[in-house]
Amino acid sequence: MDPLSQIITLLKPQAVFWRVVEAHDAWTIRFLPSDVVVFGQMIEGAARVERDDGAGLDLATGDFMLMAAPPPWTMTGGGGGAPVDFKAAIADPGLLVSAGRKGTITRFIAGNFSFAPANADLVASLMLPIAHVRATDTLVARLGALLSALGDEALADRPGRSLVLDRLLEVLLIEALRYRSSAIPGSDRGLLAGLADAKVGRALRIMHEDARRSWTVAALANAVGMSRSAFAARFTHIMGMPPIDYLANWRMTLAKAALASSNLPMTEIAEIAGYQSVSAFSTGFKRATGLSPKFYTQSLAT
C-alpha cells in the first residue's frame, strides 16, 4: 500500500454532516470557527468566501473547496445581506429564501468530514489551510467528473441519494487531498509534494513499506541514489523535517493506530514504533503525545 493510501486508511474519513443550502438574491452566512475539515461545492450560482484571518476566495458554479480548522468566516452572494448564522439557516431554511419569488438562486453543498481521533492530526500533513478546486480546471478531469456527479445527485430525488452522496464525498475528499495546483502557495511542500518528487517519494515509500527497519540517512540516501548530504537537504526542504524525524513520527502514528484499534501486546507495538523495550517506548510515547500508552488508550474511549 502506498504512503498516501496508508495514511488515508488510518484517518478513516467520512462525511458526518452535509446539507444542500439554497439562498435567494442577496445573502450572507456566518460560520463559527471549527476544528474539523469543512467543505463546500457550488451547485448553482456564485459566492465569495472571506475568512477572519484575511484569506478569501471566489466560488463559481461547480467549484469545490476544503478548509482545515478554519477561523470564523463568511460566505456571501448577490452583493451580501444581513449575516445569518449557519446553524440557524440549517434549522430554518426560510431565512435565506425570498417569500413568493425566487429571484437569483444560489445552491451549494456544505458540510464537514470527521477522522479517526487517534491520528486526526495527520490531516495537517496532507492539507493546505485552503484547497480550492475550480470546475474550469481542465487538469483535474477525474475531480471534475466527481464534482459533476455530486451536484447532479444532490439535486435529484433518487432512491439511495443520501448513501450515494456520502460515498461520493468520501472519494471527493481523497481526490481533493491529492490535488495540488501550482498556483496555491505552499503546494511545493509537504507529503504530497514529497511523493511527487522522484527521490523523496522513493524514500517515503521505502520507510512506509518497512517502518520497523533501523533506517539511517545514509541507507536511505543510498537506496534512492543520492549522496547523504544532498538527500538530507532535499528531503528536509520538501517535507519540512529531516528523514529520521519523519520516520519517527510515522512509527508513532502506527503505534497510536495500534493502541486505538488492536489488541496487540505492548512489546509488538513498541517494535512498530522502533523501540527495543516497552519502557523505552512508553517514555518516547509520552514525550510525543503527553500521555502514557495506557492513558492514551483510555482517552480515546472517553
CATH classification at residue 141: 2.60.120.10
User: Is residue 186 included in any domain, yes or no?
Assistant: no
pTM of this prediction?
A: 0.70
* Residue 209 and residue 290 in one domain: yes
Tens of pLDDT, residues 93-152: 889 987 766 678 999 988 888 887 777 777 766 777 788 888 877 555 676 677 778 777
- Residue 40 resides in a domain: yes
Asked whether residue 109 falls in the same domain as residue 239, the answer is: no
Residue 228 lies in a domain: yes
Residues 234 and 100 in one domain: no
Average confidence score pLDDT of the chain: 85
Residue 69: predicted pLDDT? 85
Q: DSSP readout, 43-69?
A: EES-EEEEETTS-EEEE-TT-EEEEES
CA dihedral 23, 25, 28, 34 (to 10 degrees): 20
User: What is the amino acid identity at position 46?
Assistant: A
> pLDDT band at 179, cuts 50/70/90?
low
Same domain, 16 and 79: yes
76 and 151 in a single domain? The answer is yes
pLDDT in tens, 3-62: 888 888 888 787 778 888 999 999 999 999 988 888 888 989 999 999 999 999 999 998
| Total of domains in the chain | 2
Nine-digit cell at 131? 484547497
Are residues 268 and 155 part of one domain? no
pLDDT of residue 98: 77
User: Which run of H or of E encompasses 296?
Assistant: helix 293-301
Separation CA 85–CA 114 (nearest Å): 22
- CA-CA distance, 120 to 254, in Å (whole number)? 13
67 and 156 within one domain: yes
Question: Distance (Å, rounded) from C-alpha 35 to C-alpha 41?
Answer: 20
Domain of residue 53 covers 3-178
**CATH assignment of the domain containing 204:** 1.10.10.60
Please report, for residues 76, 174, 211, 289, the alpha-carbon distance to residue 9 in angstroms, rounded to integers and kept in the order given. 35, 11, 16, 21
Same domain assignment for residues 61 and 196? no
- 278 shares a domain with 132: no
Q: Of the residues 178, 212, 229, which one is the last residue of a structural domain? A: 178
Q: State how far the alpha carbon of 56 is from the alpha carbons of 47, 48, 80, 205, 248, in Å.
A: 11, 7, 15, 35, 36
